[in-house]
Amino acid sequence: MTSDKNPFTLGAILYDDFELLDLYGPLEMFGNLKPQIKIVTVADKVGPVSSFQGPQTLAEFDYQNCPHLDLILLPGGFGTIQELRNQTIMSFLQERVPSAKVTMSVCSGSWILARAGLLDGRRATSNKFYFKMATQQSDRVEWVSEARWVEDGPIFTSSGVSAGIDMSLAVIASLYGENKAMDIANVTEYVWNQNPAEDPFHKYLNMLVSEKDRG
């Protein structure tokens, strides 16, 4: 637990073409914990960062001047592919993830964690439509093909987009209790899927992938 005087700092990692809901779904949930949680935004450089959908988010800190992070949130999105070649974000995560209380990735954000070696020996999941690309990032990860989210020690990885909200509520439950997480779900009028193994979109997305592969 934390107090209002000593809040946890959650660092939301930004990069060009991140997925908007990957970021703001979880931040909506954690934002309801103020003042127990302080949210900061971090990127390669201070300034506006464009999402894939268009709206920009202001990065308050660059990687060199980022404060200590108790919680880390790494969204996915089409920009992930470019970040896989960005050694700066890899080095930052390799330095910060081991000291964080909890690290969370949404969607293809887990690709970056895997490429950085931070999922070695762990179970993890990712976006199901591009799941094959997730498995190509590392063969040292036990990739879970059917899961809403996966918890392995201090690292939580979720399936695509809206799954990050369910995962975030699970993290809140682990830190502040299930009642608090359910209160936030109710206040935000969100139906929380509390079962991490229940992946309602798995079958449909697998069907789409099969059709795409058949051409």
- pLDDT tens digits for range 137-192: 999 999 999 999 999 999 999 999 999 999 999 999 999 999 999 999 999 999 99
CATH of domain 8-214: 3.40.50.880
Express each pLDDT in 51-103 by its tens digit.
999 999 999 999 999 999 999 999 999 999 999 999 999 999 999 999 999 99
Question: Tell me, what's the pLDDT at 213?
Answer: 75
- What CA–CA distance (Å, rounded) separates 147 from 134? 14
- Ranges of each domain in the chain: 8-214
Q: What are the b/e assignments for 186-202, b being 16+ CB within 10 Å?
A: eeeebebbeebeebebb
pTM exceeds 0.85, yes or no: yes
156: left (phi over 0), alpha (psi -120 to 50) or beta: beta
